[in-house]
Structure 1
Amino acid sequence: MTNHIGQNIRSLRKKQNWSQEKVAKGLEISIPAYSKIETGITDINIDRLHQIAAFFNVSVVDILIDEQAGSKSQEQGMITELKAKLAKREEEYIQLQAKIIDLYEKLKKI
């Protein structure tokens, strides 16, 4: 769990184009301590989590949400939707083939 939190924090920092040094100074911690938060080595207590959220001007929930899990869920949903569309197209293709065969048989009789 700590790993995705660290990744979310890193992502917030990179979106702002800030260095680890700038964030560490803003949080009044050492650069190595901040680095350990981003890499998931250090567990974050609730007070530190609130401090980080305030620093980046986001909610604690924004930091806690596992974006990758949500992304995987979205990808799975898209895959399911695409499979359904593909199945529908295959059905249409089979129907068109049947019509072509039917027309061919009618032409043969003429």
Structure 2
Amino acid sequence: MEFSEKIKALRKKENWTQAELAKKINISNQAVSKWETGRGFPDIANLIQIGDLFNLTLDELVRDDLLLQKKMSQKNKNWLMLAYFLLLIVGFLLITFSSRAGQILWFPRIIGLIAFIESIHLLYRNK
């Protein structure tokens, strides 16, 4: 069962309107409507509140909805890519600016080189 169908069935089982459900988890009525029509998905914080409200685990809420799982996986992948990119920049900066008064500071340069190479490896591996 898709999440949209599941949330609607859970709400109706409790005889709640969309507005009542929205009020219980401090969101707008429109958000509940989007979830129930499949035009949107709750974020992880709202999924936790929904699970608590209906006494369900996150697994029970989303296990059957492959589209929701894919969307959440993509969000995590985007954050990982950003982290790897930031690691790349830090590595580059350490390599570039690891000298002081004409002296090369080898430790930050080596750390920067390791960070730079590792970030390229991680970015390439997780495309």
RMSD between aligned residues: 1.9
- 5+ unaligned residues in a row in structure 1: which ranges? 68-110
The structure number with the bigger radius of gyration is 1
Number of residue pairs matched? 65
- Runs of 4 or more, structure 1, over 2 Å off, are none
Using the aligned pairs only, state the percent identity.
Answer: 38
Query: How does the TM-score come out when normalised to structure 1?
Result: 0.52
- The superposition leaves residues 27-67 of structure 1 with CA deviations (integer Å, 9 ceiling, x where unpaired) of 11111111111111112222211111111221112211328
The 1-side partners of 2:26 and 2:42 are apart by: 15
Query: How does the TM-score come out when normalised to structure 2?
Result: 0.46
Tell me which residue corresponds to 1:72.
none
The 1-side partners of 2:41 and 2:51 are apart by: 15
Tell me which residue corresponds to 1:39.
37
The 2-side partners of 1:65 and 1:12 are apart by: 15
- 5+ unaligned residues in a row in structure 2: which ranges? 66-127
Once the two structures are TM-superposed, the CA of residue 16 in structure 1 deviates from its matched residue by 1.1
Which of 1 and 2 has higher RCO (CA within 8 Å, sep 6+)? 1
